[in-house]
A and B are shown apart, each in its own frame.
Chain A
Amino acid sequence: MPVRIQPHAFDAGAELAALTQGRGDIGASVTFVGQMREFSDGTKLNAMTLEHYPAMAQAELERIEMQARERFDVTDLEIIHRYGELHPGDPIVLVIATSKSRQPAFDAASFIMDYLKTSAPFWKKESSPEGETWVDARKTDDDATARWQRD
């Protein structure tokens, strides 16, 4: 399954092994794991809740994965995104890209994360001793996505 949305944690090593073990056609793999930080603008967080729009999140991630497949010479792609309650240090998102050589794998992983950040319908709400706060979208994420549209 190239795209999975789930509440429970994932094992990045096991996912990578499942994609690459015994595969002589793969020369490079890039694994990206995004995890929850304990500080947000100087505030120490207890937890974070990820809300999502299930049907659209699945469709958007599949669309992004398809675009990456068309654009880069990759062998395989996998995306896992969690939802629900998370704690500092918990993994949130996994992207694995495999290819014959390293550049398509690096590029595809980066492309997927940039588009995921700006178009997949997930929303983070941070929880600290001071209360709960919805995370604001960042312009730097829009800029990161825009760079793929220039070439």
Chain B
Amino acid sequence: MSGEITILYFARLREAVGIPEERISLPQVGMTAGSLLAHLAANDEAKRTAFDGIDIKIAVNQQQADPTTPIKPGDEVAFFPPVTGG
């Protein structure tokens, strides 16, 4: 099984990051949504700036998640600001 995951960004976070979606290889086993976010920020200045000051909500495989949610190969991880529909 490939160690790749899909990451999605939405709304103002998508604009700040500059892309709606990317695929990356998990850098290590035992990652969580929170450690993934930290990894992305640590390796990309633009993302570090984008994540700064935005209240980031998380979903893993289309379900609400939090920074402690485990991430495994094949997962779809979404990062987005608080929702404003309705």
- Interface of A toward B, CB cutoff 8 Å: 34, 50-53, 55-57, 59-60, 81, 92-93, 113, 116-125, 134-137, 141
A119 with B11: CB separation less than 8 A: no
Chain B nearest Cβ from A51, distance in angstroms? 5
A92 with B84: CB separation less than 8 A: no
Chain B residues within 8 Å of A137, by CB: 55, 81-84
Known: A116-B86, A122-B86, A123-B83. Contact between A134 and B59, CB under 8 A?
A: no
A118 with B83: CB separation less than 8 A: yes
A-B contacts at CB below 8 angstroms, number: 73
Is B33 located at the chain interface by the 8 A CB criterion?
A: no
Assembly CA distance A104 to B66 (angstroms): 32
Whose C-beta in chain B lies nearest to the C-beta of A115? B86
Known: A116-B86, A136-B84, A137-B84. Contact between A51 and B62, CB under 8 A?
A: no
How many interface residues does chain B have, given as a range?
10 to 19
B78 with A93: CB separation less than 8 A: no
Chain A nearest Cβ from B86, distance in angstroms? 4
A121 with B81: CB separation less than 8 A: no
B78 with A56: CB separation less than 8 A: yes
Known: A53-B8, A59-B62. Contact between A113 and B86, CB under 8 A?
A: yes
B82 with A117: CB separation less than 8 A: no
Assembly CA distance A135 to B81 (angstroms): 10
- Choose among A34, A55, A59, A119 the residue that contacts B83 (Cβ–Cβ < 8 A): A119
- Choose among A60, A118, A121 the residue that contacts B80 (Cβ–Cβ < 8 A): A121
Is B12 located at the chain interface by the 8 A CB criterion?
A: yes
